Amino acid sequence: MPELFDVVELTVDIPEHGLCAGMQGTIVHCHSGSYEAEFSNGAGETLDFLSLVPEQFIVVWRARTKSWVPLRERIAVLMDRLPEEAEREILDLAYILHARKHQSLTRRDAV
């Protein structure tokens, strides 16, 4: 559950606000079922405040613990939102990456 001052990363584009998936903002107010987030540029100037629902973002930094959310947890949140067919595609990709790593290690050991 997101909390006040957590850093979130958009998982969807919000073109009407000029925001793209991957942009990060800060939770500045928690409502019932939605969260007000502030997005700013590199100079710290506010780009926009907007209300988001959890399906539009993932938490990447927790203010309470002052720590980054581990990648595995971020991936798990996104996986929970995918349909089963997409989960199968992710599994296929994981197999490919695992095989590539194994091949790389095998080649390095052969040298």
Encode the chain in three state secondary structure.
Answer: CCCCCCEEEECCCEHHHCECCCCEEEEEEECCCCEEEEEECCCCCEEEEEEECHHHEEEEEECCCCEECCHHHHHHHHHHCCCHHHHHHHHHHHHHHHHHHHHHHHHHHHC
Residue 88 confidence (pLDDT) above 80? yes
Stretch 19-31: mean pLDDT, rounded?
Answer: 96
> How much is the CA Rg of the chain, to the nearest whole Å?
18
Tell me which residue range forms the domain holding 86.
Answer: 82-111
Are 54 and 92 in the same domain? no
Are 65 and 110 in the same domain? no
Tally of domains within the chain: 2
pTM here is 0.84
Are 49 and 23 in the same domain? yes
What pLDDT does 58 receive?
Answer: 98
Are 69 and 102 in the same domain? no
Tell me the CATH number at 62. 2.30.30.70
